[in-house]
């Protein structure tokens, strides 16, 4: 299932969400233009490497703006676009930026706690984006995620799934994968599952500190192309 759109309209332009997507994209283009030797040095200097974290804490933030491929970048930025506008609406622009960076740092530190002896560089915005998803999970339980479901004969089927269920299922999948990774180690692949979990939990807990006190979410609104399939 692929999430296409949520049903909560934003009241204000998502300035910071667009800014973060732009910065991540520009950094990736910069990476792509670097010669391989310089790219390796760039990643080594700005990625999060658990065994080298002490004295190099800025990598908890810098690593969140690096990505390993276009697919990696697009997946993270799509999720940020899908959930970020509403969470930014709830918090305001500046507080949302601080919230995003803090979730990214907590996500990175959670990854380090579960991989303290790892020398593998860790990159990607997924932990910070997971924090945004965790905040959305608490702030918009009444929302629905319009999801594209593959069908036979290539007919698109769009199903509105309650955001609470969609995001809870996503969280459980991270816990399952993280637990498997904990027992079999590198055989599970190079994904920072516990970083995702830490970011999501951080977003759930921190949203109450960063949200506006008098904010009331607008009622759900279905796009025309999905309205008949509610």
* 219 in any annotated domain: no
* 158 in any annotated domain: yes
- In percent, the amount of the chain with pLDDT more than 70 equals 91
Q: What is the pLDDT of residue 214?
A: 80
Query: Alpha helices, DSSP H only, in 143-217?
Result: 163-184, 193-210
* 33 in any annotated domain: yes
Give the angle 50-58-54 at the CA atoms, nearest 5°. Answer: 45
pLDDT at position 171 over 60: yes
CA distances from 5 to 18, 20, 225 (A): 16, 19, 11
Contact 123, 109 (CB under 8 A): no
| Arithmetic mean of pLDDT over the chain | 89
* 16 in any annotated domain: yes
* 222 in any annotated domain: no
Q: Determine the structural domain holding residue 182 and report its residue range.
A: 2-213
Q: What is the pLDDT of residue 186?
A: 53
pLDDT at position 227 over 70: no
pLDDT at position 108 over 80: yes
Contact 46, 62 (CB under 8 A): yes
Q: What is the dihedral of CA 168, 170, 171, 173, to 10 degrees?
A: 120
* 90 in any annotated domain: yes
List pLDDT tens digits, range 47-89.
999 999 988 999 999 999 999 999 999 999 999 999 999 999 9
pLDDT at position 23 over 90: yes
Q: Which residue has the higher pLDDT, 180 or 203?
A: 203
Burial class (CB in 10 A: 0-12, 13-18, 19+), 33: exposed
Global pTM value: 0.90
Count: domains in the chain: 1
* 225 in any annotated domain: no
Q: What CATH number is given to the structural domain containing 80? A: 1.20.1540.10
* 81 in any annotated domain: yes
pLDDT at position 22 over 50: yes
Q: Which two tokens stand for residue 184?
A: 């079999």
């Amino acid at each position: 299932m692929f999430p296409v759109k949520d049903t909560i309209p934003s009241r204000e332009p998502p300035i910071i969400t667009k800014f973060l997507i732009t910065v991540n994209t520009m950094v990736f283009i910069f990476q792509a233009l670097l010669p391989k030797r310089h790219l390796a040095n760039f990643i080594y200097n700005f990625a999060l490497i658990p065994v080298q974290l002490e004295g190099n804490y800025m990598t908890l933030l810098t690593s969140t703006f690096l990505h390993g491929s276009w697919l990696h970048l697009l997946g993270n930025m799509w999720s940020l676009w899908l959930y970020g506008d509403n969470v930014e609406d709830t918090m305001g622009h500046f507080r949302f930026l601080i919230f995003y960076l803090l979730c990214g740092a907590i996500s990175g530190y959670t990854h380090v706690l579960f991989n303290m002896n790892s020398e593998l560089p860790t990159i990607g915005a997924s932990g910070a984006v997971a924090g945004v998803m965790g905040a959305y999970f608490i702030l918009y339980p009444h929302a629905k995620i319009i999801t594209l479901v593959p069908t036979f004969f290539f007919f698109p089927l769009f199903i509105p799934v309650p955001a609470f269920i969609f995001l809870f299922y996503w969280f459980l999948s991270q816990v399952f994968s993280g637990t498997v990774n904990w027992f079999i180690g590198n055989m599970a692949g190079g994904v920072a599952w516990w970083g995702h979990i830490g970011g999501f939990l951080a977003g759930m807990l921190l949203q109450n500190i960063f949200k506006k006190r008098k904010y009331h979410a607008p009622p759900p609104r279905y796009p025309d192309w999905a309205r008949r399939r509610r």
